Structure 1
Amino acid sequence: MNLTQFSIERNRVVLSILAVVIVMGLVFYKSLSRDSMPPYTIRVATVVTSFPGASPERVEELITDKIEKVVQELPELKNVKSTSRTGLSVVNVELKMEVSPDDLQAVWDRLRRKLSNIQGLPSNIYPQLKDDGIGEVFGIAVGITSDGYSYSEMKDYADELRDELIKLDDAAKVEINGAQEERIFVKFENAKLKAYGMTSSGLREIINNTNILNSGGEITIEDERIILEPTGNFNSVSDIQNMLIPIGNSGQVVTLGDVTSVQKGYLTPPKQIVRVNGLTALSLHISLKEGSNVIKLGEDVDYVLSQWKQKLPVGLEVSRLASIDTYIDKKISAFLVNLFQAIGIVLVVMLFFLGIRTGLVVASLIPIVTISTFLVMGLINVGLNQISLAALIMALGMMVDNAIVVAETIMVKVEKGIEIKKAAIG
């Protein structure tokens, strides 16, 4: 007994199963992940080593060659490429496709340990393995603009907004672009330092020795452990200004603020500059968790932004800069439109050429098979994205062609006098 014969003779069972499949397919369709592209594993990392002032030849001889030899010890290695430039070594590492996503981090950790144990590198040279963030897609971008506010005030609001966005269920990471690095600047005049009998290098050493950042260790007394925490680290700009600086050999001291100007500021020129509609801005970029719904993430982001637009002061505005969620929503809507158009066109054509009964049968296959496909996609954890939607659209045409061929074959056999049941089974 073949599948066709079983379906005809046990039609109630088949129709019951088909009804369950359709209901489950509709349920799974609601829960399918939605993203621009399917998740994929990047098996590439970069080892970056800085060697300031060294020529490309010295960088290759002292650093790049040694890193390459360590990388080649990895059994999972597929390819290694290197570039040696003035003061910089870059080694690209590519692993074999057989390395599963679950084992990938263990391989990078093993390589990181090997790099830390390389012998013969110049002093204070430490290779850095860059394996994080490769392949991440930040599909939603939000901008906060300032008109009349200082950078620090705008940055405070941007940090608060980031804290709200990272709490969203579907948000994996939120990065701020355009942020400037904050520093404490100690400005002085050489003539003034000389008048106090000081030098710039001596002043730097005094500041470094005063700002204690190391641990004091711990001591154990019987059953108690006492942690020693040294004091002296700077907690504010005023702490730096009020630190005492010895001058001369007479034991006299002055405050650092008396001989220098201590200010908090930002590095110039900034590494990134963001402008929105000609205004100074900061942008926040949001990536999607794997297997999540980018459309739902976009709706959550819109809700957060609507709340922030009400509480932001005049002069600060927040808006969307990039919206891949709307693009994906349009793609899915376009697929559904194509699906209904295909059903209507097939139905009209089949009614005209093959009759109402055959037309209804062939046209009904399109939604039934598509919904069944949603069920299978949900079971194997495949979401709706540009690749799966393209595959579904192509499959629609193939499915309609096959259905027409089967229907016409049955009709030809019936016209030859074969019983309709045997024509369908055979």
Structure 2
Amino acid sequence: MSRLNLTEWALKHKEIVYFFVILTFVMGIFSYRQLGRMEDPDFVIRQMLISVAWPGATARQVEEQVTDKIEKKLQDTPGIDYLKSYSQPGKAVIYVTLKDSVNEKDVRPTWLEVRNMVNDIKSTLPQGVVGPSFNDRFDDVFGCIYALTSDGYSYEEMRERAEQIRRTLLGVKNVKKVDLIGVQPERIYIEMESSKLAQLGIDPNVIINAVKTQNTMNASGMVETSSDNVYLRVSGIVDDVAALRNLPLRVNERTFRLGDIAKVDRSYV
């Protein structure tokens, strides 16, 4: 029995060979057109960022009393691959990374468990610690960054315009989240000259306490009516520079306006 010579067979049956070549070509085009294509393909980020603030603490204090406690609590969490942390004066950042074998549908439940475990030891953290805060929403949106610049406009005018653009974009289909980055918050600054205060015999704490006392809202009672109860509140909150400059201060049997002894201006951080 002679062996099959594939080359000889192909030369004798050209029509069959051409048919399979064309069939393969057509199937290739069809398969290519059926491939999933996305400009921004979905992917899962198996990492969480935990941040903690402790104002005034040294890096060693943050590491020993905050970072180590959180890391030890999370070490036995199922699915965690490794932990990486950075302790700095006043704050700590901990990166929690899951194993690649963790199924996509199990990622969110794992992050919920991490939150619960960290919150379990929150009461054991030192007094003054702010947080912990968690960020695991790296992959819920695809980001685009647009810069807004302008000459001749104040920060407040640009912020108002940016807010208008933000509200417009939130109404666009498939837009989930719009954040403003780099917004300069407005503040009212009170600048006092120590030499002038010393000359007038005024303690700076007197000014600080007077502003704090004025800038409060207190409950003053309730008025009962036949249909409802109306709560009364006395508000002394000052958000106007002119009103703050006219704030009266009683010191050593003398009355001063805040604007007479301190510089009061509205500015940005």
TM-score normalised by structure 2 residue count:
0.70
1:56 to 55, 59, 67: 59
CA distance in 1, matches of 2:167, 2:220: 34
Q: Write out per-residue CA displacement over residues 284-328 of structure 1, whole angstroms, 9 at most, x where no aligned residue.
A: xxxxxxxxxxxxxxxxxxxxxxxxxxxxxxxxxxxxxxxxxxxxx
CA distance in 2, matches of 1:138, 1:183: 33
1:140 to 130, 141, 144: 144
CA distance in 1, matches of 2:118, 2:161: 37
1:254 matched residue in structure 2: 256
| C-alpha contact (below 8 Å) 2:54/2:62 kept by paired residues | yes
Change in Cα spacing, 1:62 to 1:132, as seen in structure 2 (3 Å) is same
1:283 matched residue in structure 2: none
CA distance in 1, matches of 2:215, 2:76: 43
| C-alpha contact (below 8 Å) 1:43/1:104 kept by paired residues | no
- State the shift of 1:45 in Å: 1.9
* 1:17-416 aligned within 5 A: 34-38=38-42, 40-72=43-75, 74-75=77-78, 77-95=80-98, 97-98=102-103, 100-101=106-107, 103=109, 106-107=112-113, 109-111=115-117, 113-117=119-123, 119=124, 121-135=125-139, 138-212=142-216, 216=219, 225-248=229-252, 250=253, 252-267=254-269
- State the shift of 1:110 in Å: 1.9
Relative contact order (C-alpha < 8 Å, sep 6+): which is higher?
1
1:259 alignment partner AA: I
- State the shift of 1:156 in Å: 2.1
Change in Cα spacing, 1:163 to 1:104, as seen in structure 2 (3 Å) is farther
- State the shift of 1:264 in Å: 1.0
Change in Cα spacing, 1:51 to 1:247, as seen in structure 2 (3 Å) is same
- State the shift of 1:88 in Å: 2.8
Change in Cα spacing, 1:235 to 1:37, as seen in structure 2 (3 Å) is same
- State the shift of 1:261 in Å: 1.6
User: Secondary structure, in 3 states, of the residue corresponding to 2:146?
Assistant: strand
| C-alpha contact (below 8 Å) 2:47/2:136 kept by paired residues | no
Change in Cα spacing, 1:220 to 1:55, as seen in structure 2 (3 Å) is same
- State the shift of 1:188 in Å: 1.9
CA distance in 2, matches of 1:157, 1:217: 39
Tell me the number of residue pairs that the alignment of Structure 1 and Structure 2 aligns.
234
CA distance in 2, matches of 1:217, 1:130: 39
User: Secondary structure, in 3 states, of the residue corresponding to 1:261?
Assistant: strand
Q: Write out per-residue CA displacement over residues 210-268 of structure 1, whole angstroms, 9 at most, x where no aligned residue.
A: 2115x6398696995554534111232233222222211x2x3222122212111112x
2:146 alignment partner AA: V
- Give the unaligned 5+ runs of structure 1: 1-21, 268-426
1:257 alignment partner AA: G
| C-alpha contact (below 8 Å) 1:115/1:127 kept by paired residues | no
TM-score normalised by structure 1 residue count:
0.47
Change in Cα spacing, 1:108 to 1:163, as seen in structure 2 (3 Å) is farther
Q: How many percent of aligned residue pairs carry the same amino acid? A: 27
2:257 alignment partner AA: T
Moved more, 54-63 or 100-109: 100-109
CA distance in 2, matches of 1:77, 1:227: 51
1:163 alignment partner AA: R
CA distance in 2, matches of 1:92, 1:185: 37
- State the shift of 1:138 in Å: 4.8
- State the shift of 1:177 in Å: 3.1
CA distance in 2, matches of 1:230, 1:116: 36
Q: Write out per-residue CA displacement over residues 340-398 of structure 1, whole angstroms, 9 at most, x where no aligned residue.
A: xxxxxxxxxxxxxxxxxxxxxxxxxxxxxxxxxxxxxxxxxxxxxxxxxxxxxxxxxxx
